[in-house]
Structure 1
């Protein structure tokens, strides 16, 4: 065990230096190992495993505080069976060695547990015990606990090193706890979202329902709903591929409405760009007018993410890098469409679809304009920047009384205030797209390719249905 290697008080300075260097190596390796992990459950297990390995412990348990209880989250030693805890223990704060450690927020080094008032045995037949509190910002968030089959198994050196590791682990554990709460909230919000479709509307047959077959397309998941159409994640059975399927409401089946719905798809079919959804085909079957487009499995409308994230207490640290990455690529798509004299006309967070780690894509292009129609081209850029403002502040910009985004989100990059003021706050301004692309990306400290695989994107990937 670790303390057996510790020098006695008269050991040579050289030996003490070696021990101190070994401790420093342990601290550095521990910090790196827990800092690199992003999966919530793995973090807890890695922490328990590493602590046990460094100290040479037979048993190490991490408890987390849940109200007035301590709940076993991970363990090393006899309790590990495929990372499932056998009979996980729940301990009231104040009870036993672990509960006393939590209640007093002090380390408990017990040479003989049989003499400790209120000792709570678990399935490990421990005789001595060491419990160290995990404290974050003066609040108890958990306890490290270890038991040994021998009396007097733990030394002060064990206690000191475990306290050091607990201090290192505390911010990472707290971050993992917060991420867990955020993930639960996002899942709930995405489940609740469902666009709150009126059941009467569904039953009336005005719009299709999940699982319905429209020709060769099976509707899987509702992505978007407007007054005139629905957007579905669907499966094209003939070609065995995922599809985005726009379906016109049956009440919108007048000739002019149908033409308004279908004609943009004919124009947009000529656009082939990685940041524009490719239009495959359109048609009419069983009373439904539809347009089939390219789809990446698991993609969501950006508005879904924005809506969910707006309700969370905090944002991931690289959120603004991700926003920059998304909108610079969307702007590339706009620039390409404009080079073919095609505009969108209604860009918003409802017209951007994205799966973390994949290229964002714009929906809805499909209006031909003259090359000199500066007003139409400018509107697309203004709309795109307004959508970016929405993604940053979680509110639509008031163009008549524009509020700088940094006043709403202080962490917003400073130069973005200038961008929004120049594009959204000034009328009839000709916008240089190359300048705008450079300004949007100026804040990034990493290359776009690296940003594409950021922790934020990895995290959001959990919520992308497959």
Structure 2
């Protein structure tokens, strides 16, 4: 995959992250000559609930435009390695994630916590004002830009307030990361 062109525009340079749903590559937009992050759905998920969530992530995040939310530039389907894949092209945020920052630096100062928390809260407020609930806020999903400012990412399990509950999750199912969830969410009281 590395060195390949996706959608006749995005050159994949190297893998920078992966999960059960997708892999993320550092890429280059060959038209605008800028670095981008390209999230590619893992094979086999296209016609599943995971594939539906992935495509919804692209549409949901693209509705949001805020300095503390990773910008979505493009989304679609293309052929890669002889297979049809779904992808999302986003702003490349070079500073890693908040989890990595905490692991590297240890406890953050009160000033850093206040600044990072205020930025993340501003991004969440923007999303909420537009009817989007993130549902998986955790240090892994807060990226740090080149100026040390936070940017929310990974709206893969976000719920649009205009969607019915059955579109977002099945009854009794919980999406999110248990370690970072409120106890009432885990008990299905929210």
TM-score range for the pair, normalised by the shorter chain length: 0.7 to 0.9
The SS at the match of 1:272 is coil
d(CA) in 1 for partners of 2:63, 2:180:
32
d(CA) in 1 for partners of 2:189, 2:50:
32
Conserved 8 A contact 1:247-1:290:
yes
Distance 1:219 1:305, change over 3 A: farther
d(CA) in 2 for partners of 1:269, 1:283:
12
TM superposition score normalised by structure 2 = 0.73
> Could you say which structure has the higher strand fraction?
2
1:132 corresponding residue in structure 2 = none
1:339 paired with 2:122, answer: no
d(CA) in 2 for partners of 1:357, 1:323:
15
Within a 5 Å distance, the mapping from 1:142-291 to structure 2 comes to 208=1, 210-215=2-7, 216-286=9-79, 287-291=84-88
> Could you say which structure has the higher helix fraction?
1
1:5-60, Cα deviation, whole Å (9 max, x unpaired): xxxxxxxxxxxxxxxxxxxxxxxxxxxxxxxxxxxxxxxxxxxxxxxxxxxxxxxx
Conserved 8 A contact 2:26-2:38:
yes
2:152 corresponding residue in structure 1 = 362
Conserved 8 A contact 1:264-1:367:
no
d(CA) in 2 for partners of 1:248, 1:227:
9
1:299 corresponding residue in structure 2 = 95
Distance 1:321 1:368, change over 3 A: same
Once the two structures are TM-superposed, the CA of residue 321 in structure 1 deviates from its matched residue by 1.8
The SS at the match of 1:285 is strand
d(CA) in 1 for partners of 2:25, 2:117:
23
Conserved 8 A contact 1:282-1:291:
yes
Structure 2 unaligned blocks of 5 or more: 169-175
1:325 corresponding residue in structure 2 = 115
Q: Which has the higher contact order (CA 8 A, sep 6+)?
A: 2
The SS at the match of 1:239 is coil
Conserved 8 A contact 2:137-2:180:
no
Which one has the largest radius of gyration?
Answer: 1
RMSD, aligned CA: 3.3
d(CA) in 1 for partners of 2:22, 2:41:
4
Distance 1:242 1:397, change over 3 A: closer
Structure 1 unaligned blocks of 5 or more: 1-207, 377-382, 387-395, 401-422, 430-466
